A and B are shown apart, each in its own frame.
Chain A
């Protein structure tokens, strides 16, 4: 697997994070049936570069929608990275989509369950609470639609961006 060069336009705004861009089709993206022509951005904390494994089970995709140049958006990018990083640890989390409404970030965490699971909700809400406390400047709305085992997007706006998928 290869990462393309770091984009220095944004790097200076993201210490201690560096920004890497996939701009060539990668095997793992092909396996996910993503369009090879799409460009995806991956944020990797410099301190964790060695510990993050990018493979089929562990993908962080921060789409180009969030490339905005304003500094305010950098915080959002960082928040999205942290959201993907936290929620991926929950095996029931199938994918995460993000869309913007006004100044708020709407996060759709799709969970693979067939029945209501109170313990799972406790776990997800603990993580959500941590994220909110980490980024008090941002206003979020989190949703946890049950998506069983199939991919489904019919309730998510077509412009919503996927930031995590397994």
Chain B
């Protein structure tokens, strides 16, 4: 039998990881064609900033506050539960900023976009994530949207 020990980062660790991810994001968005990964780094900065904010609330951590069913299984995924916490505890602006970063990072990483079915057979087109998101899009997501989320959390920009 294996026991999984999950080390929960405390406030300071979340904050330092958030800052690190943000720095990486700022660098990557200014280095096309790597700017798409800047969006993902920005999303993971947003997650850590939020977990930092949540640490002093009743929930403390997203993962440890997910409701469970009678069978003790999680009812929701961590992402879904975190978004519920963002939506119910923060402003609409904060919610939109967080969701915008998550959705963009999902598209940038998985890019189901480039797998298109023009006919009966799947075909691949030569337009990966760096072409879907312009460098300007990525810079805006990092410098404007992430900053907006931080502002709503009360974190000094």
Binding site for B on A (CB under 8 A): 101-104, 114-116, 118, 121-122, 125-126, 128-129, 132-133, 136, 139-148, 150-152, 154-155
Contacts and interface: CB of A to CB of B under 8 A. Distances in A.
B110 A155 contact: yes
A114 B126 CA distance: 12
5 contacts: A101-B77, A116-B132, A116-B133, A116-B137, A154-B117
A103 B100 contact: no
Contacts of B106: 143
A147 B116 CA distance: 7
Contacts of A101: 76-77, 80
Interface of B: 69, 73-77, 79-81, 83-84, 87-88, 92, 95-96, 99-100, 103-104, 106-107, 110, 112-113, 115-118, 122, 127, 132-134, 137, 140
Contact of A125 (B88, B100, B122, B137): B100
B142 to A, nearest CB: 13
Contacts of B95: 125, 129
Contacts, number: 91
A122 B104 CA distance: 12
A116 B104 contact: yes
A114 B104 CA distance: 14
Contact of B134 (A115, A139, A148, A151): A115
B117 A150 contact: yes
A129 B115 CA distance: 29
Interface of B is mostly: helix
A146 B106 CA distance: 11
A152 B117 CA distance: 6
A139 B87 CA distance: 11
A103 B132 contact: no
B116 A116 contact: no
